[in-house]
């Protein structure tokens, strides 16, 4: 039964498999048995990548049965054998599991920061706070006319400042820390026109990002996650339903 404290799948890299000398020297039956053992090792109760060095058990888990003795040496060349501990270990799986833990920890920290922002926004009245908190326009606007329009429009100026602040939380949660400048440019293109529109929009983007982190990116190395600017330009947050806006009780 799969353990709930780890991802249900592990990455398989064809180039590494084909380049592995131990695998290349295996006969087809041995390679098949090796693959079965790796699947069991990923779900092992002894820890990710670890199996008992028990020939009867390995014969069954590899599905080689009575042929296990003939292929034993070929298979175990691809494992780290510890005669003292009585175990065999797939080190690549151990390292991958550690990498997954690190990615999940980073995602969790980003999620905590996002939730803190949401809670702060719910607990803060926007009536007088917006003018105090967002009194300066964002630098680097596309044109002088746009900048002038922004400076003469307090609502838009406040929205841009709010939106720029939200980007910091988005960036902290995004797994791949590459291309921050183009990501910010893509983010600012989607700035709502009012402060009131910022929170619902941020909630939707945050929900879409959380879905990617928990779903299709869960087992990926960060370098295989798309750049944040690409993700934003493709409007990938729209792959999830827009969160419902909480209704505030009348005073």
Mean pLDDT by 10 residues, the chain (251 residues): 52 79 92 93 88 95 96 94 93 79 64 59 51 44 46 76 89 91 93 87 89 85 90 91 58 42
pLDDT at 14: 81
pLDDT at 108: 59
| pTM > 0.85: yes or no | no
pLDDT at 6: 53
Gap between the Cα atoms of 206 and 209, Å rounded? 5
pLDDT at 148: 47
Q: How many CA atoms lie within 13 A of 95 on its CB side?
A: 5
Gap between the Cα atoms of 90 and 41, Å rounded? 8
For the four alpha carbons of 48, 50, 52 and 58, in that order, the dihedral sign comes to positive
Structure-block tokens of residue 237: 């947050």
pLDDT at 3: 45
pLDDT at 1: 38
pLDDT at 86: 94
Beta bridge partners of 52: 87
């Amino acid at each position: 039964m799969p353990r709930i404290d780890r991802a249900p799948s592990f990455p398989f890299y064809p180039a590494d498999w084909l380049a592995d000398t131990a695998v290349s020297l295996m006969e087809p039956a041995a390679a098949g048995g090796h693959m079965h053992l790796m699947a069991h090792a990923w779900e092992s109760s002894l820890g990710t990548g670890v199996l008992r060095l028990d020939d009867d058990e390995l014969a069954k888990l590899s599905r080689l049965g009575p042929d296990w003795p003939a292929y034993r040496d070929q298979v175990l060349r691809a494992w780290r054998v510890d005669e003292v501990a009585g175990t065999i270990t797939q080190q690549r799986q151990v390292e991958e599991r550690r990498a997954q833990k690190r990615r999940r920890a980073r995602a969790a920290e980003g999620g905590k920061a996002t939730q803190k922002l949401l809670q702060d926004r719910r607990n803060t009245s926007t009536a007088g706070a917006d003018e105090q908190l967002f009194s300066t326009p964002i630098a680097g606007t596309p044109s002088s006319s746009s900048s002038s329009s922004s400076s003469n429009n307090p609502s838009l100026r406040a929205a841009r400042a709010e939106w720029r602040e939200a980007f910091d939380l988005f960036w902290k949660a995004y797994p791949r820390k590459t291309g921050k400048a183009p990501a910010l440019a893509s983010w600012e293109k989607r700035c709502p026109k009012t402060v009131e529109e910022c929170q619902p929009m941020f909630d939707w983007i945050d929900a879409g990002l959380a879905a990617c982190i928990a779903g299709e990116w869960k087992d990926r190395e960060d370098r295989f996650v798309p750049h944040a600017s690409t993700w934003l330009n493709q409007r990938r947050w729209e792959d999830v339903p827009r969160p419902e806006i909480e209704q505030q009780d009348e005073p």
